Amino acid sequence: MYFITISEMLGTNGEKIARQVAGKMNYRFYGEDELSGAAHQMGFLTDLGKLDEKGPTFLEKLFSEKPKLYLDRIQSVIYELAQKGDALFFGRGSQLLLQSFGCAFHVLVTGSMERRIERILQERGVGREIAEKMIQKADHDKRGFFRFAFNEDWLNPHLYDLILNTDKLSIDSAVEMVVAAAKSSEIKACGVDSVILLGKLSLHRKAESALLEAGLMTPYLFVSVEDPDSVRLYGLVDSLEEKERVAKVIKGIKEIKKITNDLAVSRAYD
């Protein structure tokens, strides 16, 4: 199986290119709507999409764990969908989540500010001032999201295998270039080890989000996925009751068959 991730700067035709590439490659396409639909099917709450590609505000980071909860959920969804095989992921940090997989091909679609503004004017029917503000806000939000989620600059060229400037490229030309590059012999199919790793990564995010939702995740509580169905808990908790509560939450995740509970009770609370 193979993966393609396509990220865009607003106003570069990135989503149109991504959808056409998925069609030509006969890959499943996963954009915002498709990821949200998959999240519902997996039993996640309906608020998954609220995170979007935006960094949380200072107050959200200071007073709430919800941004981290949403982040864990969306990452778990992407890892789980990736296990199903040939897929194209559009945005949502997929280029970072699948960065270590040799079977993944990462594309960034860019363009000049002037050409991006022209496209927004044509597509959205807004004035130039609004179009420029829309682009600036989209770039700012994505920059914040990647800093928060990955501590990374989303425009770092080393994250991508192919960078397309669509100022002069038509959608069809861009699609042909991506398809040709993605089919190159250098892109090797994912092996069994990659599938196992995806399962473990998905499970790790599920465990973290379950603990966050229960209000039990702390800087001193750690989760390790030993096997695709086994989890180890370690670190410090305040009491034996909290230790049991943590284990109970993890047991509620259907994929987990075995739990090793090595949590220690902090002596500060003896």
Residue finishing a domain among 161, 182, 203: 182
pLDDT for res 58: 46
Instruction: Answer yes or no: is 187 within a domain.
Output: no
CA distance 72 to 149: 10
| pLDDT tier, 222 (very low <50, low <70, confident <90, very high otherwise) | very high
pLDDT reading at 233 higher than 50:
yes
CATH number of the domain that 36 lies in?
3.40.50.300
- Over the chain, what is the mean pLDDT? 88
- Domain residue limits at 263: 192-269
Across 51-90, b (16+ Cβ under 10 Å) vs e yields bebbbbeeeeeeeebebbbbbbbbbbbbbbbbbeebbbbb
To the nearest 10 degrees (0 to 180), the angle between helices 171-182 and 14-25 is 50
Question: What confidence tier does 51 reach under pLDDT thresholds 50, 70, 90?
Answer: low
Q: Are residues 235 and 260 in the same domain?
A: yes
CATH number for the domain including 223? 3.30.1340
pLDDT in tens, 134-180: 999 999 999 988 888 888 999 999 999 999 999 999 999 999 999 99
3 state DSSP class of 270: coil
Check whether 64 has a pLDDT greater than 80.
no
Residue 10 lies in a domain: yes
Residue 123, in any domain of the structure: yes
Q: Could you please report the per-residue DSSP string of 55-98?
A: PPPHHHHHH-SHHHHHHHHHHHHHHHHHTTSSEEEESTTHHHHT
Same domain, 12 and 108: yes
pLDDT at 8: 96
% of the chain exceeding 70 in pLDDT:
90
Q: Domain check: are 18 and 104 in the same one?
A: yes
91 confidence band (pLDDT: 50, 70, 90)? confident
Q: Is residue 228's pLDDT more than 70?
A: yes
CB 223 within 8 A of CB 206: no
Residue 74: per-residue pLDDT: 84
Q: Total domain count for the chain? A: 2
Give the mean pLDDT of 93-110: 92
Q: Determine the 3-state secondary structure of 26 from DSSP.
A: coil
